[in-house]
Amino acid sequence: MFYWALRDILRRPVRHLLMIFALAGLMIAAAAPLLFTGALSAGAEALLSDAPSIVIRRADPVGWQPIPIEPGIKAAESIVGVIRVRARRWGVIDGPKNPLVVIGDKGLSDNHASSLPDAFSSDLPSNSDFQSADFRDFSERFPLTPETAPLTHETVSLSWVRAGQLLNLPLGTATDLGIDVYYPQEVEAVCRELSDAFPWPVQMLTHQEILSLFKRRASMMGSAALFSLIPALIGMILMVMAVLQQQAANVRETGLLKALGWTARDILRLSFLRMLLVIVPAILLGAAGIAAVFYGPAPFRSLGAPLGLFFGWHGALSALPFDAQVAGSAFAAAGTFILLPYIGASLWSAVRASAAEPGAFIEGGGAG
Amino acid sequence: MKKSRFRQILCSSLCTVVISAFFFIFGGGITAAGSGPQPGKMGLDEAGRMQVSDGDRCPVCAMNVIKHPKFASAIQLKDGRTFYFCGTGCMIRSWLHPEVFLGAEKDQLQKPVVKAYFTGKEMDAREAIWVAGSDVIGPMGPALVPLKDEAELETFRERHGAKATFRLSEMDDEKWQAITGKKAVKEK
């Protein structure tokens, strides 16, 4: 029976190959929003675990100003309840292809540098603000862990001095100060006292506000990723219709088999085996595709570049951090979402065919 | 008739199996919990800092101490055992009545450790200035807050209010009741 089913598949190889590719493609499209949502929440958690309790920036009437580090730290440390003050250098600059977020890392020496997202590792123009030395080996001191990749796409870390040069920060100044307090309930009181402690007008952002900003962004990105379900849904409907139509076209063959003495059970078994021969390769191909597009090396990830358009990313997707639970549940959900309707349509057609009279088939009446 | 009799026997057998399984699985835990206060898995480190482990229970209220790191405190005994507490209130009650909460005599008490409110730095609770009646809430309700010095006390008072201040050496049952409105140890 298995060889009969295999022979059936091989009689129309192109049609079945297309079906396998379509099913695998739909699985990848359906898994995308689930994988992105999981990765975004893990990324936000990783980023915020090291976020300061308060971020303070100097704001003059003309806009943001660099904040002098020494007097800034001194003023912040004078407030009871402040346990740590971090000067930070970061900002958006014109990259070789599109804007980049640059972070100054004190742990990187001036001529050693940083990491560069895969999307920018080549094709740097010689007259760019960047030097090729700016993008060398990935450093373990990179302040953003791989979990943060979905939220830090197009972010590079440079040496403290180099970042200052690119961001036009005068010597001894920073973009902002990150302030930590021990008890979260002290934040409000510390903020009040901080604004009086600085000799310049300042603007503050608390951890809670940062958290809600992130949540809003993550939910927007997650919703955007859900759009990729629309083509998957349309594709699934078309596939179910194609399966039903294909089965209807095979009625004469089913009628002949019944006339030759095949029982309803035989017809059902044959249909089931035929379905397995399509579904198993489709699942394997889908799993391989998901692994390549979301977790694989850059050339494979560039296949998923259209998904990055939802987030305003350029080039290949960032590799998502692998989480077995997230990946497993996304794969299972996508598989169920895509394969169940296919299995249902196939079995429904098989049941109807097995229950009909052979004469009706041969005369062209179909399965009903 | 026979069917309903059979069903009754089946139900009662199932209940017996489930109840036996419950006691078999959780019986050991109940016995262990009932065997008195357990010290922390690890004592203070060489620098006198707390080393709270998962599963260290507060001897007063049985809360898991590791879940309340900001208010965690400890009492080290002379025999080397260290008890960890979910909050400063539980620690002070145990300091007042170690025989009730720790199963140890008062002369066995070695060192109480708390985290200074503003910095989280660990310090000897006897050196702290304690504040009661502020708006700060700990794991067990309104918190007794340890502060490092007078300057911190001044700032704390401005931010959170303070109905009373005290040193650990001044604390006794009477003062505890005056501050909290409850007795440090329930009467039997």
Stretch A3-24: mean pLDDT? 83
CB nearest to A182's CB, from B120, B151, B159: B120
pLDDT digits (tens, 9 = 90+) for A138-156: 333 344 555 666 666 667 7
Chain A contacts to B (CB-CB under 8 A): 80-81, 83, 182-183, 185-186, 189
User: What CA–CA distance (Å, rounded) separates A239 from A346?
Assistant: 11
Angle at A217 (CA atoms; ends A302, A309), nearest 5 degrees: 25
Q: Which amino acid is at A173?
A: T
- In chain B, which ranges are E strands? 73-77, 82-85, 109-115, 122-124, 129-132, 137-138, 141-142, 145-147, 164-166
Q: What single string gives the DSSP state of each residue in A10-37?
A: HHSHHHHHHHHHHHHHHHHHHHHHHHHH
Residue A56: both structure tokens together: 């303070």
Whether the pLDDT of residue A197 is over 60: the answer is yes
Q: What is the mean pLDDT of chain B?
A: 84
Residues A181/A82, Cβ–Cβ less than 8 Å: yes
Whether the pLDDT of residue A110 is over 60: the answer is no
User: What CA–CA distance (Å, rounded) separates A132 from A156?
Assistant: 13
Residues of A in contact with B159 (CB under 8 A): 186, 189
Query: CA A47, A51, A56, A58 torsion: positive or negative?
Result: negative
B163: phi then psi, degrees, rounded to nearest 5: -85, -30
Q: What is the pLDDT of residue A98?
A: 67
Query: CA B61, B64, B66, B67 torsion: positive or negative?
Result: negative
Mutate to test the interface with B, among A179, A183, A192, A196 (most CBs of B within 10 A): A183
Q: What is the pLDDT of residue B1?
A: 46
Whether the pLDDT of residue B166 is over 90: the answer is yes
B41 inside 8 A of chain A by CB: no
Q: Which residue of A has its CA nearest to B156?
A: A80
Q: How many CB atoms lie within 10 A of CB B17?
A: 10
Residues A204/A75, Cβ–Cβ less than 8 Å: no
Nearest Cα of chain A lies from the Cα of B140 at a distance, in angstroms, of 16
pLDDT digits (tens, 9 = 90+) for A62-99: 888 999 999 999 999 999 999 999 999 988 887 666 67
Q: Which helix (H) or strand (E) holds A115?
A: none
Whether the pLDDT of residue B150 is over 80: the answer is yes
- In chain A, which ranges are E strands? 54-60, 63-65, 67-68, 82-88, 90-94, 99-105, 155-159, 173-174, 176-181, 202-206
Chain A with chain B: Cβ pairs closer than 8 A: 23
Whether the pLDDT of residue A228 is over 70: the answer is no
Query: Are B70 and A183 within 8 A, CB to CB?
Result: yes
Nearest Cα of chain B lies from the Cα of A76 at a distance, in angstroms, of 14
Q: Which residue of B has its CA nearest to A84?
A: B119
User: What CA–CA distance (Å, rounded) separates A301 from A307?
Assistant: 10
Nearest Cα of chain B lies from the Cα of A205 at a distance, in angstroms, of 20
Residues of A in contact with B156 (CB under 8 A): 80
Whether the pLDDT of residue A214 is over 70: the answer is yes
Residue A233: both structure tokens together: 């849904």
Q: What is the pLDDT of residue A118?
A: 41
Whether the pLDDT of residue B78 is over 90: the answer is yes
Whether the pLDDT of residue B30 is over 60: the answer is no
User: What CA–CA distance (Å, rounded) separates B85 from B40?
Assistant: 9
Nearest Cα of chain A lies from the Cα of B159 at a distance, in angstroms, of 7
Residues of B in contact with A185 (CB under 8 A): 136
pLDDT digits (tens, 9 = 90+) for A317-355: 666 777 777 788 888 888 887 788 888 888 887 787 777
User: What CA–CA distance (Å, rounded) separates A263 from B103?
Assistant: 80
B159 inside 8 A of chain A by CB: yes
Mutate to test the interface with A, among B119, B152, B157 (most CBs of A within 10 A): B119
B161 inside 8 A of chain A by CB: no
Query: CA A232, A234, A239, A240 torsion: positive or negative?
Result: positive
Query: Are A81 and B151 within 8 A, CB to CB?
Result: no
Query: Are A189 and B118 within 8 A, CB to CB?
Result: no
Whether the pLDDT of residue A211 is over 60: the answer is yes
Q: What pTM was estimated for this model as a whole?
A: 0.63
Stretch B162-171: mean pLDDT? 93
Query: Are B119 and A83 within 8 A, CB to CB?
Result: yes
Predicted complex ipTM exceeds 0.85: no
Q: Which helix (H) or strand (E) holds B70?
A: none
User: What CA–CA distance (Å, rounded) separates A132 from A119?
Assistant: 15
How far is C-alpha A220 from the chain's CA centre? Answer: 13
Place of tokens 């690119």: A166
Q: What is the pLDDT of residue A134?
A: 38
Query: Are A185 and B136 within 8 A, CB to CB?
Result: yes
User: What CA–CA distance (Å, rounded) separates B148 from B171?
Assistant: 18
Nearest Cα of chain B lies from the Cα of A4 at a distance, in angstroms, of 50
Q: What is the pLDDT of residue A132?
A: 35
Percent of chain B with pLDDT over 70: 80
